[in-house]
Every structure is written in C-alpha cells, then in structure tokens.
Amino acid sequence: MKTISRFYLIRIFESIKQVNTVNYYIITGASKGIGKAIAEELLKDDNNRVIGVSRTNGIQHPNYRHQPLDFSDIQAVEHNLQKVFLPCEGADRLVLINNAGVLGDIGYVGEGMPNERFEFVFDVNVIVPAMLMNTFLETYQSVQCPKVIVNISSGAGKYPIDGWATYCASKAALDMLSQTVQQEQDMRASGVRVYALSPGVVDTGMQEHIRQSDATRFSNVERFRAYKAKGELASTEAVGRKIVWFLQNTDEFRDVLVSVRDMA
C-alpha cells in the first residue's frame, strides 16, 4: 500500500475545512441599493450565510434569511434584536454590516426644518447601528472566531455640506462611534475589527432624492445632477463587489476610517 505524504494529508484537510467553512454576514438595508448588492455578491459563495435586516425582502436564496425591521421604530428594534442575532456557535467568521441609512430632509436649519426629522435621521443612522453593535458584541463574545463590524459611513461625515446638516452630523457621529468601539476592543484585546467605510458617490435612490432638491436649500444640487448626466456615479454592483473584497481582506486595513476609493 502506498503511503500518503504529509503534504497531501495537509491539502486534503484544508480542502475539507474549506468545504465546511460557514461565514455569517448580518446586513441592514439589504433589500435594495448597496446592501442588496453586498448580499447578492456574498451569496455567490456557498460558504456564506446572509441575514438581511430591512422592512421589505428583496432577495430569494437558500442561504439568505430576511428579518423584517423598521429602524424608525426604536422600540420595535429593541424588542426584536434577539431575532437578528441567533446562535452561531459553528461560525468561522461573524460580520455585522450597518448599511441602512437615510439622508433626511434637505434644507437649512432654522428655515422650516421640522424638529422631529432630526430624531428620525439620528435614530436610523446612529442609534440603531449603536444598538446593533452593542448586541452583536455581547451576543457573540464567547464565539471563538474572527468578528468584524463595518458601518457604512460617508464623506459627508468629514466635510460640511449645506442643506445636509443632520446627515453630516449623523455620519460624523457614526465615524466617532466606530473609532471609540475599536479603541475599546483593542483595550480588551478581543481581536474584533471595526470600520467606518465610505462607499463614494453611488447610483442609489438617495442620489435620485438629492437631484430633486431645491437649489435654494442645497447649493451643490447641480454638481450632483452632473454626476448622473456624465455617468460618474458608481453602480451598486461595482461598489458591492469592492466591499466584499474588503470584507475578505480586512487584515490589510488598520485604520478605522476607510474608503472604497482606496480599494482595488
């Protein structure tokens, strides 16, 4: 009988391990736009399981589970978090992607902006992501596998844009939340990686809403209309592929604040 070399035994073991690998990705806002593109790209790999958290379901796939939630209803989110973060004891990788976000009303503060709209934007863009991060870290603390949190941010969180005060402030808050949580995880030596990822200018429903703005309430509206007219908006599919590449190569990125523009 021929003896199987140690090299081939290792190769066989690695092949079996790869087949049995199960990665879990929890994605908010997965029914459309960038979130849907990320989910569909991940689902091309049979080793991935995707949990999509959104009001409606836009994906049908055997490895996809939809959890309905309305992020504007904070109490409902709080009462249903356990449905999102189910036990994943056999996970080889756990990833939370806080993608859902809203632009809110475009207009100048103090010029007819309803006060309740500030609350709405911060609930969706900051409060819910914070709740999800908190629950994700607590629920899977004992699970021994790599864990990653990606918060979809925006360049608007780094530079003021007139008419977007609430959106800019909420994304700045998300950036700082991400940086602070990463500092805490480093102090605990947990190995968890946290990122605030800016996707760039992407052809989504949010961009369509921006183009319909009144120039007296948003001075840069013509620039955003030109993006569309000149074909300068990235497709959700292209951005989704880049983000999935990033998810597979997070070890190459040490800074919390990252941009799709920095990726291959």
| Residues annotated catalytic, as ranges | 167
**What would the two tokens of residue 27 be?**
């994605």
Q: Are the C-beta atoms of residues 164 and 103 closer than 8 Å to each other?
A: yes
Q: Are the C-beta atoms of residues 125 and 57 closer than 8 Å to each other?
A: no
Q: Which of 177, 172, 152 is nearest to 258 (CA)?
A: 152
Q: Are the C-beta atoms of residues 198 and 154 closer than 8 Å to each other?
A: yes
Q: What's at 24, amino acid-wise?
A: Y
**What would the two tokens of residue 25 be?**
């990705």
The residue ranges of DSSP E strands in 59-154, in sequence order, are 64-68, 93-98, 147-152
**What would the two tokens of residue 58 be?**
């836009």
In Å, the largest CA–CA distance within the chain is 86
Q: Rounded to whole angstroms, how far apart are CA atoms 179 and 196?
A: 8
Q: Rounded to whole angstroms, how far apart are CA atoms 236 and 242?
A: 10
The residues, ordered by sequence, that sit 6+ positions from 133 with a Cβ below 8 Å of its Cβ are 96, 98, 149, 151, 177, 181, 194
